[in-house]
Amino acid sequence: MHMHCVQRSAIGGIASPIIKSSLSVPSTIMAMPSPNSLRVAAAQMTSVSDLAANFATCSRLVKVFFFSIFSFLGSLYFLSYFSLLFYILLCTVFLLNTEYWVWCEKEAASAGAKLLCFPEAFSYVGTKDGDSVSVAQPLDGPIMNQYCSLARESSIWLSLGGFQEKGSDPQHLCNTHVIVDETGKIRSSYKKIHLFDVDVPGGRVYKESSFTEPGKDIVAVDSPIGRLGLSVCYDLRFPEMYQLLRFQHEAQVLLVPSAFTKVTGAAHWEILLRARAIETQCYVIAAAQTGKHGDKRESYGDTLIIDPWGTIVGRLPDRLSTGIVVSDIDLSLVDSVREKMPIDKQRMPIDFWKAASL
């Protein structure tokens, strides 16, 4: 493991040292938050067909987040070149020692993110379509229990988007977005409604419905960072769903854990996310899978956090790296945008459009 220099983040804040290991984990920290802000984080990773390896990555990302806050605060005091080198060496020793991983995690929790979001298929990506059915488990099974324990031990809420939940028959699973609170309790879950049955231009044919059963319910849940609207990946292309989350379920923050393909991501990922943020006047947190998961599947990456005006306020510097991006969100901005542009009061009811189409 070696350390790279401190750099300025893409969102104007001060970044912690980027840590490159066999996991290749950079971590970005914003400047000190305002009194009304709430800190959130979104992960980017390359899941594989190894449950244990994916859990180890998720666990390290949780702890890297806490380490990076410690790193940022420490850098305020170690200003000279030689002092900084000594400090980096000290932090490297911390990272190499499991005991200090836990120490950094617990010490920084009170100043860290309230919510850390993982991407779709965080726990498993098979080598071919349908492989994930074989590892599907109920939400009270041992795989999800591991992640609930991670949330409890870290005292942080987790958004676990796209878990392979056991379906109603042996041939199908549910692509389920799970919200776990800081005590390790599952607060809510949403089953992906829109399944990815697509012939990607210049790519391959996907048929998620062949092994996944669609959900039927729209889900929003209260959290320490506001009211969350839950979705998964391909849902992003269906704005009606997000309209319902905003105007009927009063969502303030939309979560879009995803595994966009390389082709569709390059063409539409950022545009769609910013559009959903603008038209709903919500924050959007989009944790993304990235890179090659095997010979037949590759994800676009580009984890983003977007404010209700459509401005990108958090972005990983490297679209293909494993790491976390951190941003401070302010729900008073949500209120301000909605007050100044009151689309909730100006939008027409569905009956108006039915009559207008005649």
Instruction: Provide DSSP, 220-246.
Output: EEEETTEEEEE--GGGGG-HHHHHHHH
CA 78 to chain CA centroid, Å, is 32
Name the β-bridge partners of 163.
176
Catalytic positions: 120, 192, 233
The Cα 341–Cα 83 span in angstroms is 50
- Amino acid (1-letter code) at residue 114: K
pLDDT digits (tens, 9 = 90+) for 22-37: 333 333 333 455 667 8
Residue 322 pLDDT greater than 80, yes or no: yes
pTM: 0.82
State the CB neighbour count (10 A cutoff) for residue 36. 11
- Per-domain boundaries in the chain: 2-356
Cα angle, residue 324 at apex, residues 23 and 276 outer, rounded to 5°: 135
pLDDT digits (tens, 9 = 90+) for 270-314: 999 999 999 999 999 999 999 999 888 899 999 999 999 999 999
Residue located via tokens 């009061």: 345
**164 neighbors 123 (Cβ within 8 angstroms):** yes
pLDDT digits (tens, 9 = 90+) for 111-141: 378 999 999 999 999 887 778 999 999 999 9
What CATH code would you report for 2-356? Answer: 3.60.110.10
pLDDT digits (tens, 9 = 90+) for 84-101: 555 555 455 444 443 333
